[in-house]
Copies of this chain bind each other. A is one copy, B any other.
Amino acid sequence: MLKPLGDRVVIEVVEQEETTTSGIVLPDSAKEKPQEGKVVAVGSGRVTENGERVALEVAEGNHVIYSKYAGTEVKFEGKEYLILRESDILAVIG
């Protein structure tokens, strides 16, 4: 299990079947980076200058839209994840 620190979350990227207008499925490198994912773990939140820890708004299981290119890709137990800060998440799909 990956337990993110501070205001970070671990995202499982939701791949979208990508087909060009002519019906050809594009190989991986030609696709745009995905922007949708599922939250699989959340950190305990950042600490403000007042010394309070701020719980995250997103929760495990949320489907989210996040900024393209944000975060760091990590491979863990053979699976790809993205670790990013909550501030890189734009919205929860719900």
Contacts and interface: CB of A to CB of B under 8 A. Distances in A.
A47 B54 CA distance: 8
A37 to B, nearest CB: 13
Interface residues of A, number: 34
Tallying the copies of this chain within the complex gives 7
Contacts of A74: 35, 65, 90-91
Contact of A2 (B52, B57, B65): B65
A5 B91 contact: yes
Interface of A: 1-6, 8, 10, 35, 41, 44, 47-52, 54, 57-58, 65, 67, 72, 74, 76, 83, 86-87, 89-94
Considering the complex of A and B, which 4 residue pairs feature the smallest CB-CB distances, nearest first?
A51-B52, A49-B49, A2-B91, A3-B92
